[in-house]
A and B are shown apart, each in its own frame.
Chain A
Amino acid sequence: MRAAVLRWSVGASRVLGALGGLGALGALGALVLSACVSHIGSTPVEAAPVNLLNTDTRRAGFADMSTALQAMQQDDTLNPAILWVREGEALWSQAPASGPSCAGCHSSPTSQSQTGHPSASIQTAATRHPAFDGTLNKPVTLAGRVDLCRQRHQNLKPQDADGPEVLALSAWLMHQARGLPITPPPDPRLTAWTQRGEQLYGARMGQLNLACTHCHDQYAGQRLGGAPIPQAHPTGYPTYRLEWQKLGSLPRRLRACMTGVRAEPFATGSDEWVALEGYLMTRAAGMTLEGAAVRP
Chain B
Amino acid sequence: MATPRTLINVPAARSGEIIEIRATIAHVMETGLRPDDQGRVVARDIVTRFECRLDGATVFAADMFPAVAANPHIAFRLRAEKPGSLVFLWEGDRGFRHTETVALKVT
Question: In the assembled complex, how far is the CB of residue B20 from the closest CB belonging to chain A, in whole angstroms?
Answer: 9
Complex Cα–Cα for A77 and B70 (A): 16
Interface residues on A, range: 10 to 19
Q: Is the interface of B mostly helix, strand, loop or mixed?
A: loop
- How many chain B residues have a CB neighbour from A under 8 Å? 14
Q: A246 contacts the other chain (Cβ, under 8 Å)? A: yes
Residue of B22, B26, B28 with most chain A CB atoms under a 10 A cut-off: B26
Q: Which residue of A lies closest to B70 (CB)?
A: A245
Is there an interface contact between A86 and B5, defined as CB atoms closer than 8 Å?
yes
Question: In the assembled complex, how far is the CB of residue A145 from the closest CB belonging to chain B, in whole angstroms?
Answer: 23
**Taking A77-B7, A77-B9, A164-B1 as contacts, is the C-beta distance between A83 and B70 under 8 angstroms?**
no
Give the total number of A-B pairs whose CB atoms are below 8 A apart: 32
Complex Cα–Cα for A12 and B81 (A): 62
Is there an interface contact between B5 and A245, defined as CB atoms closer than 8 Å?
no
Question: In the assembled complex, how far is the CB of residue A159 from the closest CB belonging to chain B, in whole angstroms?
Answer: 14
**B29: which A residues are within 8 A, CB to CB?**
245
**Taking A77-B22, A164-B1 as contacts, is the C-beta distance between A83 and B69 under 8 angstroms?**
no
Within 8 A of A (CB), among B65-88: 69-71, 73
Partner of A78, one of B1, B22, B28, B70: B22
Question: In the assembled complex, how far is the CB of residue B81 from the closest CB belonging to chain A, in whole angstroms?
Answer: 23
Q: B48 contacts the other chain (Cβ, under 8 Å)? A: no
**Taking A83-B24, A87-B1 as contacts, is the C-beta distance between A245 and B69 under 8 angstroms?**
yes
The chain A residues found within 8 Å of chain B, CB to CB, are: 77-78, 80, 82-84, 86-87, 164, 245-246
